[in-house]
Structure 1
Amino acid sequence: MAGHQGQVYLVTGGCGFLGRHLVKMLAERQEGISEIRVFDVQLDRELERWSTDAVRVTLIQGDITELDNVRDAARGVDLIIHTAALIDVWGRNSTSKIWAVNYQGTCNVFEACKELGIEYLLYTSSMEVVGPNMQREHFIRGDEETQYNVQNEEPYAQSKAKAERMVLSANGTKLAGGKTLVTCALRPTGIYGEGNGVMEKLYRQLLKFGRRRLRLAGKEVEHGRVYVGNVAWMHLLAARALQKWPKVLGGQVYFCYDDSPFMSYEDFDMEFLGPAGFRMVGQKPPLPFFLLYMLALLSELLQWILQPLMNFTPTLNRYTLSIVTTAFTVQTDKAARHFGYQPLVPWAQSRARTAAWIRGLDKASSKMQ
């Protein structure tokens, strides 16, 4: 195994939601690492506190879209976990910026591996490289081999899909110094957990509506969600296994999964928001899909009209509506078979941790008032 004492890992996007959970877990649990380099455009100095006598956490500020920045951060690294991405399904950022971060950034990471002879690259992909599609065709209990009508129509899904294809096809590339690149990709479904910026934004929006949430999808529209701690754990195990069994993992893609229940997006979120006094309005969507679609279209039109004046980014658009109203659930054991993955954090604990974090937001909000 290549995993000699004193390896150096580089985690791109290491100050993000998944990245910080992963860095903390690597610092606490991964034997044989002497340094974890955290590369991000915005640094959080708090992560330096996770350094121990055995593992040093080093923060490196840089832009994933700049090859020189990536190359400098990657010098002397044994393995790269590339989580850096611009997750945007609301149109907050320009199409060119989304492509620059998600695709060109990944190309830069690959280029650094080639030039510097870095053998191992683990890529954080997304379920959205598969779906849901805009035709609202359900993906129910699917796995990595399930045939689906993939239609990447939005910049985020398109850029992640092209980046994933590039990473997987790069497996086996000859590197400087004569080594061979080994790559694989992990596809999380909707990640939840403490520190999730999307859920925090939803929490703050619902406060303005008196802690009430309007139902958009029926209870039967089930989604697979996965706890951030389990996604981080799968990354840790895959990084280890990529080096131990390169012929098994090389060029492979894995959905991230755990024992979180399949529920509609809204009902799932209420598992954490409910204990904090939030409530769902109605057992069924109050409007037929056609009217919801027209509202989404209207929101997009308003966003386009106001673009020169202000950054108006409504959460409801045609893409987010299709995500919420299309079932997407994953049932697979490929990661278990290939590298022994089992969820680290059970559902009851995942739910309790996330609900406690929401209550913490409540306490912080009440102090500010």
Structure 2
Amino acid sequence: MADRPGQVYLVTGGCGFLGRHLVKMLVERGEGISEIRVFDTKVDRELESLSTVAVRVNVIQGDVSEADSVRDAARGVDLIIHTAALIDVWGRNSPSKIWAINYQGTRNVINACKEMGIQFLLHTSSMEVVGPNAKGEHFIRGDEDTPYAIELEGPYAQSKAQAEEMVLSANGAAVAGGKTLVTCALRPTGIYGENNGMMEKLYHGLVKFGRKRLRLAGQEIEHGRVYVGNVAWMHLLAARALRERPGTVGGQAYFCYDDSPYLSYEDFDMQFLGPSGFRMLGHKPLLPYFTMYLLALLAEVLQWLLRPLGSFTPSLNRYTLNVVTTAFTVQTDKAARHFGYKPLVPWAESMARTAGWVRELDEACSKGK
């Protein structure tokens, strides 16, 4: 097959939850793209079936923590979207592994840009590079410039924060061929949507618990959530803006947002779980915060004691308790002003798609009985 003119994109972590939606979005709505390289440790060759006459999708197995692997995948690439990360706030993985992927992996991507003359790098960051902070201070309707005491705990939040800082600091750096690197970062709040692995685990856990969920936080503890299709859409627009408006977006960080309602984590999830027969127990937290804190601390101690015997990863620990019980909502139009972002998928459709996927889980669960 003859080479086709156009841009070559590399999407690290492209087989993950966000990555799959992003690759599909780039194929369907990207402009001037001839090839999308999907780079991940666990590959899904079915993504190659997304290829069209205009856009070829190639799946490459590799690890961002291995510099040679990243460098090989990046040869001939015009733009990198770096979504690969190890999301772990439960202690399933060692801190060294989390740092190797989230921080060293990002360093490897930046170095590949410099060595291969790649001018454009879009980094998928996280709201957790800002907060909720370790003090449990609320961040309500904040934007990218809102003063907030950033005090992060745990290897995930800390590694993502340092990775983002490294990416933004690299803006303007020289790359091979005499050009300069243009970078920016997107900070999704809690991403939801169909095929979300964390929500699927929650679904199966609650099924075992009789489709009941204990309330940990008050209804007033609101959080910003954003639909995966809109996060993918913002990535596409930001990638385009890196090329077309480098002076505007270069070195900038943007929260990802849409018109999803502000609710507590638990009440938000019930928008999709409720229609399938799940129910919340209580209108207020069933246990006082101090009791939950002691339970979270006990779970961490048990995890440490049982680590030599096997894997015990409770969903409740002091970090996750702090996240659930600390309000964090964003209200910003920075992405709209800088590169014309508007949510592609309205809330009603986002909710319907996600609830439909939960019904599919129900059907599969029923067949498996």
TM-score range, shorter chain: over 0.9
The answer to whether 1:314 aligns with 2:314 is: yes
- Which structure 2 segments of 5+ residues have no match? none
Cα shift readout 1:243-301 (whole Å, capped 9, x = no counterpart): 00000000000000000000000000000000010000001001110000000001101
Shift of 1:46: 1.4
1:229 maps to 2:224: no
Q: Deviations over 1:182-204 (max 9, x none)?
A: 00000000000001111001001
1:278-330 Cα offsets, whole Å, 9 max, x none, are: 00000100111000000000110110010000110000000000000000000
| Larger CA deviation: 330-339 vs 131-140 | 131-140
Displacement of 1:152: 1.3
SS at match of 2:179: coil
- The residue that corresponds to 1:216 in the other structure is 216
- The whole-number CA distance in structure 2 between the counterparts of 1:150 and 1:181 is 27
Number of residues paired by the alignment?
Answer: 366
- Deviation of 1:368 (Å): 1.0
* Residue deviations 1:43-100 (CA, integer Å, cap 9, x gap): 0111111000100000000011000000000000000000000000000000000000
Residue 135 of structure 1: CA displacement? 1.4
Give secondary structure in 1 for the equivalent of 2:10: strand
| Aligned position for 1:71 | 71
Deviations 1:338-369 (A, max 9, x none): 00000000000000000000110111111111
Q: Distance in 2 between matches of 1:5 and 1:191?
A: 34
Tell me the SS of whatever aligns to 2:270.
Answer: helix
After superposition, residues 86-235 of structure 1 pair within 5 angstroms as 86-235=86-235
1:284-299 maps to which residues of 2 (within 5 A)?
Answer: 284-299=284-299
Secondary structure of 1:345's counterpart equals coil
Offset, 1:205:
0.4
User: Amino acid of the residue matched to residue 255 of structure 1?
Assistant: F
CA distance in 2 between partners of 1:201 and 1:149 (Å): 32
Paired amino acid for 1:96: S
Which one-letter code corresponds to 2:237 in the other structure? L
Q: Equivalents in 2 of 1:14, 1:200: separation in Å?
A: 19
Name the amino acid aligned to 1:302.
Answer: L
Query: In the alignment, what sits opposite 1:305?
Result: 305
Deviation at 1:5, TM superposition (A): 4.8
2:351 maps to 1:346: no
Q: RMSD of aligned C-alpha atoms?
A: 0.8
Q: Describe the SS at the equivalent of 1:367.
A: helix
Q: Indicate the residue corresponding to 1:54 in structure 2.
A: 54
1:12 aligned residue: 12
Residue of structure 2 in register with 1:33 after alignment:
33
Unaligned segments of structure 1, at least 5 residues: none
The DSSP-based 3-state class of the residue aligned with 2:36 is strand
Distance in 1 of aligned mates of 2:5 and 2:32: 4
Instruction: State how far apart, in whole Å, the 1-side matches of 2:159 and 2:65 are.
Output: 13
After superposition, the C-alpha distances for 1:22-58 in whole angstroms (9 at most, x for unaligned) are 0001011112100000000000111111000100000
For residues 277-288 of structure 1, the aligned pairs below 5 Å read 277-288=277-288
- AA matched with 2:111: E
Instruction: Please give the alpha-carbon distance, in whole angstroms, between the structure 2 residues aligned to 1:38 and 1:178.
Output: 27
What SS class does the counterpart of residue 254 from structure 1 fall into? Answer: strand
* Aligned AA (2:36): I
1:324 aligned residue: 324
d(CA) in 1 for partners of 2:305, 2:205: 22
The runs of 4+ residues in structure 1 deviating greater than 3 Å are: none
Matched, 1:356 2:349: no
Query: Any idea what the Cα deviations from partners look like across 1:154-199, whole Å, max 9, x if unmatched?
Result: 1000000000000000000011110100000000000000011110
Q: State how far apart, in whole Å, the 2-side matches of 1:261 and 1:229 are.
A: 16
**Counterparts of 1:166 and 1:132, CA distance in 2:** 21
- 1:367 and 2:362 matched: no
Q: What amino acid sits opposite 1:238 in the alignment?
A: A
Cα distance in 2, alignment partners of residues 31 and 176 from structure 1: 25
What percent identity do the matched residue pairs reach? 77
Task: Say which SS state the counterpart of residue 174 (structure 2) adopts.
Answer: coil
Structure 2 CA distance for aligned equivalents of residues 52 and 23 of structure 1: 12
**Structure 2 counterpart of 1:53, one-letter code:** V
Aligned partner letter, 1:195: N
User: Matches of 2:270 and 2:264 in 1, distance apart?
Assistant: 10
> 2:213 is paired with a residue of what secondary structure?
strand
Q: Secondary structure at the match of 1:165?
A: helix
Tell me, what secondary structure is at the counterpart of 2:146?
coil
User: Residues of 2 paired with 1:135 and 1:158: CA distance?
Assistant: 15
Question: What pairs up with 1:230-245 in 2 under 5 angstroms?
Answer: 230-245=230-245
State how far apart, in whole Å, the 2-side matches of 1:134 and 1:110 are. 29
Distance 1:61 1:317 in 2: 33
Structure 2 Cα separation of the partners of residues 317 and 104 of structure 1? 26
Distance across 2 between alignment mates of 1:242 and 1:7:
13
Alpha-carbon distance between aligned partners in 2 of 1:324 and 1:171, rounded to the nearest angstrom: 34
Deviation at 1:134, TM superposition (A): 2.1
